[in-house]
Amino acid sequence: MRIAQLAPLAESVPPKLYGGTERVIAWLVDELVDLGHDVTLFASGDSRTKGKLHAVLPRALRLGRKGVDPNAACALLIEAIAGRARDFDVIHSHVDWLPLPVLNRTGVPFLTTMHGRLDLPGLSDVIGAFPQAPFVSISDNQRRPLPDANWVATIPHGLPKEQFRPSYGAGSYLAFLGRLTAEKGPEAAIRIARAVRMPLRIAAKIPRAETTYFKKKLEPEIDGEDILLIGEVGDVRKQTFLAGAAALLFPIDWPEPFGLVMIEAMACGTPVIAYRSGSVPEVVEDGVTGFIVDGEQHAIEAVKEAVRLDRRRIRARFEERFAASRMAREYESRYRELFACR
């Protein structure tokens, strides 16, 4: 099949550092090419792909030239696919609702994967204006704010089996990986680590909008020894960071649509200790790949139990449930269904 993939322009595909959605898109495109499809990726020019690259901008917005209006960039993306829509059998959008008015009029089958939270003001009105537009969720929980959307599947993220090498040692510290925002739970992670008297290593970026939060709530707790901030990590450093951890702490306080870091940890054989919120019960198998906990005290107890989990089994369950090849085959089935109904 001739398949177009529309990616956000904030990060390259895959991203140089932080960027879960862009990383998933990169894996999906490469897997689809390996399955024999003709795939064109609409993304920034600094992206890398096994498919054909249609560069909408020379560089991704966050690490590229300053002053580019994200709305203007998105308009260029939509214009690019509008001009080439007839070149494809199916169009797969990863940029939420923005291209819907155009995609709805091209006459080409299309699909939208929603990657973010869906409890945002006005979103139900927008989605309701396109009752026939097909959507894919990345967890069943993600759908809850928009039950009447035309959901055609839930397809959990997957990553290549060879992306991370597992480690079967016990691990010497606790890990936190993600954005340093209150909803991700870094304060809780620090308290949990101190309670169990284990070092905490934090691999994260500080969003510009969260600088005040970081200065007031987190920086005073980061001593460089017991609590250490190592900054953003790419895939190579992420491998050693996750594989060397006794457990990944995921104490979220928001309806996480998926949580890619959880399966990245599992790929390394590292157990996940996660709060019962959003997609967590769909990703973590309690007592097998980690523990689903209700608050800090429960998390403290789980840290003590995590060392008893079989890291080889954690890796095996990752391969069975969250490989990129499985994700690509599920999307391939949806594309064929859409094409057959055109």
pLDDT computed for residue 48 by the predictor:
97
Cβ-in-10-Å burial (0-12, 13-18, 19+) of 172 comes to exposed
CA-to-CA distance for 34 and 54, rounded, in angstroms? 19
Tell me how long the chain is.
342
**pLDDT value at residue 65:** 61
User: Domain spans of the chain?
Assistant: 2-159+324-340, 173-321
Using alpha carbons, select from 280, 260, 263, 242 the residue that is nearest to residue 321.
263
Q: Tell me whether domains 2-159+324-340 and 173-321 share a fold.
A: yes
Which residues on neighbouring strands pair with residue 41, listed in sequence order?
5, 53
Q: What angle is formed at CA 207 by the lines to CA 141 and CA 219, rounded to 5 degrees?
A: 110
Nearest CA to 283 out of 292, 270, 296 is that of: 292
The highest-level CATH class for domain 2-159+324-340 is alpha beta
* CATH 3.40.50.2000 assigned to 173-321: yes
| pLDDT at 239 (0 to 100) | 92
In the predicted model, residues of the chain with pLDDT beneath 70 are: 64-67
